[in-house]
Amino acid sequence: MASKHTIATRHAQGIRARFASRFLRSLLRLRRSGNRFGGSQSNDEGIGKRIRTDRIKIAAYAAMARAVGPRRTWSRALLFKLRNRARIHGVSRKRCLVSEKKRVTRNKVVAISSREPSRADTLRKLVPGGDSMDTCVLLEETAHYIKCLATQVTVMQSIADRLLL
């Protein structure tokens, strides 16, 4: 277990640098794209801000998932979800409706077999890709996910502090 921990810490530091570089690059890209569309869109209060927030958040998660790579179940699931979201976003509304229908039926099925959500289920909802894992693997993925989330938060914090000071 000690060796596992050292390997994990080494990974965390590697992940930190990788995530930082990717996130910064995507931030710059976002800024440039915001600039290209003119100042008005991005300077809008309200909706514009929310859009920007979401874009930055997605960029952060995407950067983290790519920095981790396909080694972990949760990163694979996260990348898959982001790609699907991008696809759905860019494609016509028809497909959106179709996917909505599918989601509705799935929810109904879930409602039938609903019981009080146990803690493990709550955790599954939080960790990306947690549905298809048994408890043992779920805990392992949660540990790695927590570590990556923590590095993500610190890097973003330092960037924000630097940019705003």
Partner 1 sequence: MINRALLPAGGGENMLHCTDMTVLERQRARIKWQQEQQQQQFQLQQQEISYFTELADVFHQAGFHEGGLSEVVTRSVKPDPGLVDNGWNNDHVVGYGVGLPYNNGLGFELNYGAISRTSSCPPEAVAAVAAATVKGSESVVSDKISSGAGRESSKKRKVDKIQNNSKVVAEEDTRDKRIKGCAEQGESKITEKNNNKNSRNNNTNKNNNSNKENSDETSKDNSKVSEVQKPDYIHVRARRGQATDSHSLAERVRREKISERMKYLQDLVPGCDKITGKAGMLDEIINYVQSLQRQVEFLSMKLAAANPRLDFNVDNLFAKEAFPACSINFPTIGMSSDMTNPAYLQFNPAQQQLLACCGLDMGIDPPDMALKRTTSAPVSIPETFLDSSCFTQTHPPPTWDADLQNLYNVAFDQGRQTSFQTQPFTGDVKLSCLFLSALY
Q: Could you tell me if 52 and 42 are in contact, meaning their C-beta atoms sit under 8 angstroms apart? A: yes
CA distance 69 to 92: 30
Stretch near partner 1 under the rule CB under 8 A, chosen from 54-62, 83-91, 94-102, 103-111:
54-62
H or E stretch covering 116: none
Q: Which of 2, 3, 6, 32 binds partner 1 (CB under 8 A)?
A: 32
Which residues neighbour 159 within 8 Å (Cβ) at sequence distance 6 or greater? 23, 24, 27
String of contacts with partner 1 for each residue 112-141, x by CB under 8 A: -------xx-xx--xx-------xx--xx-
Total residues in contact with partner 1, by rule CB under 8 A: 65
Is 20 an interacting residue with respect to partner 1 (CB under 8 A)? Answer: yes
Cα 97 → chain centroid:
23
CA distance 152 to 154: 6
Is 61 an interacting residue with respect to partner 1 (CB under 8 A)? Answer: yes
Is 68 an interacting residue with respect to partner 1 (CB under 8 A)? Answer: no
CA distance 16 to 88: 30
Tell me whether residue 94 is exposed, middle or buried, using C-beta atoms within 10 angstroms of its C-beta: 0 to 12, 13 to 18, 19 or more. exposed
Q: How far is the CB of 156 from partner 1 (least distance, A)?
A: 4
Residues found near partner 1 in the complex (CB under 8 A): 1, 4-5, 10, 12-14, 16-17, 20-21, 24-25, 27-32, 34-35, 39, 42-43, 49, 52-57, 60-61, 119-120, 122-123, 126-127, 135-136, 139-140, 142-143, 145-147, 149-165
